[in-house]
Amino acid sequence: MARILWLFITVLVAVQVEAAVFDHAQWDSLLQKHVIVLSGGKVTQVDYDGFLDDRDRLKEYLNSLAEVDRDTFDGYSLDHQLAFLINAYNGWTVELILTGYPDLESIKDLGNLFQSPWKKQFLPLLGEKRSLDDIEHNLIRGSGRYNDPRIHFAVNCASIGCPSLRSEAYTGEKLQNQLAEASEFFLADRERNRLNNQVLEVSSLFKWYRQDFEKGWLGFQSLGQFLASYDQALGLDEKTAEKVRAGGIKIDFLKYDWKLNKKNI
């Protein structure tokens, strides 16, 4: 009898823990419907017209994120927390674009001389009115919890130069594989990262956030070490990869393309 009771309690606790994990199915459905995957996943385009048609569903999802309080969020595993924040950033970025779409060429058009679009405090999350910068730089990068530079390949700034908006929601269960794949896809895109006449030309993202790739978060102490670990994605032979790792290859940063990552009609 005691064994049966113990098994019942174990199952009940497991169900309660599973139920406590946030369900991103609605966002996943919207992404699968409105994100066009190109070049085997290295590039995606966003059907903002489709998102406009489904804006009520998007707002329902964003409102459901806003209902999560800080205590509940802190009860999630770190992977579930990070997936939640990445999805929140990407979802609210799409909503921000929709506030001006189709009359804009870039997310930067939604800012002004005094405030960038990333600093607008317009989204409710974890009990506060926040900005996109607050999610990325405070809740993710500045929290000291996640310590993973690969988040830069997951959060999407609605621009062609950005790592692609993934066509599925991030989830705690799949997060590590999703971040690994997002990193591979981004570094394999020759429009944004390439070896050119023995100069490694990479996205300006690596210039802006270089410190994150050199903090030792994934065991790398330099940007060269990080990039060399993706030798296959970058198309580097073993000798060149070793030079990159040792700092023997010049690294240049490409101009960022801020044009909207919209579907090409």
- Render pLDDT for 89-142 as a digit per residue (tens, 0 to 9): 999 999 999 999 999 999 999 999 889 999 999 999 999 999 999 999 999 999
Alpha carbons 57 and 60: distance in angstroms, whole number: 5
Closest CA to 31 of 4, 13, 58: 58
Give the tens place of pLDDT for each residue, 14-64: 334 444 799 999 999 999 999 999 999 999 999 999 999 999 999 999 999
pLDDT tens per residue across span 79-104: 999 999 999 999 999 999 999 999 99
The radius of gyration of the chain from alpha carbons, rounded to an integer in Å, stands at 20
Structure tokens at 12: 């009940």
Percent of the chain with pLDDT over 70: 92
Q: What is the pTM of this model?
A: 0.92
- With H, G, I as helix, E, B as strand and everything else as coil, classify residue 76: coil
3-state class (DSSP) for residue 48: helix
The single-letter DSSP state of residue 159 is B
**pLDDT given for residue 146 in this prediction:** 98
Residue 83 zone, left/alpha/beta (φ > 0; ψ -120 to 50; rest) = alpha
Element (H, E) at 196: strand 194-196
Q: What pLDDT was estimated at residue 265?
A: 65
Q: Which residue has the higher pLDDT, 234 or 264?
A: 234
